[in-house]
Amino acid sequence: MQKRILGSSGIEVGAIGLGCMGMSWAYGTGDDAESIKVMHRAIELGVTLFDTADAYGPYTNEELVGKALNGYREKVTLATKCGLVVTDREHHTYARNAKPDYIRAACEASLKRLDVEVIDLYQLHRPDPEVPIEDSMEALAGLVKEGKVRAIGLSECDVPTLERAYMVFPFATLQSELSLWTRDVLAEILPWCQAHNVAFLPFSPLGRGFLTGQYRRADSIAQTDFRANLPRFQGDNFTANLALVDRVEAVAYGLGATPAQVALAWVLAQGEQVVPIPGTKRQKYLEENLGAADLTLSTADLAELDNLPPPVGGRYQVQP
């Protein structure tokens, strides 16, 4: 697989990473044994960046990733996060905590769950409105200086917050949502990352699975799946958004590819510093997704995808 660099950290990773959240959290019950096979297969196919967080489970996803990657430490880049605290497991709701003492304690706990001495990329899951971002960044920078993490990153920040954070420490990555139906970051945030040598890690690059074309009815999403509570997956919104998928499928048909591959190839085409982290707990979808790294979109393909209509409905009912 082609390689890309995680910003100022200099850490080289495969162009497509693996988001591990869905193996343990939010998308229904996972099978740990199968998930471990998926992670091992990912390594065989050139994936090196594995992304998790203490909130997933909570805690169980880090334990699963640590177990799966034991023995592969030199081949992988481990990324995890702190800053979201689960308040309701059933409804997947969170509170934010980015206090310095909390960050330091959370890092120690993640090191133990992952069973590693150093975390490659440690990210603040969300800024905390009750804590100045400068204070949170000082704590994260301290972890780098202590040798507990190699690099730090942020997630879901606006440009003013990024500017303030960067004045404290030159963080390596920003993780936010980017896909053919979530393009908000293209206007200001992605250009800011390009200008400051910050790698951009898109989560949900497949629109939480919607862009794959697998889902054609709103009631195909189980009520225990947190997507059932997202506006874009509900009722008339769901039906309206199928028009977007139809156009992605048309591009895919012309290329002899799948909609998932086209959607990921579009994300990859947004810049060399972009490293998408699609999630899956099935080997067949993993292999399909990674095929996007070898898919080249023509100027006409990109124009067609750039001109897709915006989705109907917001990203969340309540922003985590």
Q: 156-165: per-residue pLDDT in tens?
A: 999 999 999 9
pLDDT for residue 223: 86
Confidence category of residue 317, pLDDT binned at 50, 70, 90: confident
CB-CB contact of 263 with 211 (8 Å) = yes
pLDDT for residue 219: 87
Give long-range contacts, CB 8 A cutoff, 24+ apart: 187-192.
188/159, 189/157, 189/158, 189/159, 189/162, 190/270, 190/271, 190/274, 192/159, 192/162
pLDDT for residue 90: 87
Confidence category of residue 1, pLDDT binned at 50, 70, 90: very high
> In this predicted model, what pLDDT tens digit does every residue of 63-116 receive, in sequence order?
999 999 999 999 999 999 999 999 999 888 999 999 999 999 999 999 999 999
| Residue 122: exposure state from Cβ atoms within 10 A (0-12, 13-18, ≥19) | buried
pLDDT for residue 28: 84
Mean of all residue pLDDT scores within the chain = 96
Taking residues 49-59, what's their average pLDDT? 97
For each of the domains in the chain, give its residue range(s) and CATH number, in order of start.
Answer: 3-205+271-295 (3.20.20.100)
pLDDT for residue 320: 86
pLDDT for residue 140: 98
Q: What's the rounded Cα separation, in Å, for the pair 215 and 238?
A: 9
Active-site annotation holder among 56, 94, 215, 285 = 56
pLDDT for residue 29: 82
Confidence category of residue 319, pLDDT binned at 50, 70, 90: confident
Confidence category of residue 220, pLDDT binned at 50, 70, 90: confident
Q: What's the rounded Cα separation, in Å, for the pair 238 and 210?
A: 9
- Does the pLDDT of residue 318 top 90, yes or no? no
C-alpha to C-alpha distances, 72 to 44, 47, 120, 150, 260, nearest whole angstrom:
11, 12, 14, 17, 28
Six-digit token pair at 96? 């934010």
Residue 56 is a catalytic residue: yes
Query: What share of the chain in percent tops pLDDT 90?
Result: 92
pLDDT for residue 130: 98
pLDDT for residue 179: 98
pLDDT for residue 120: 98
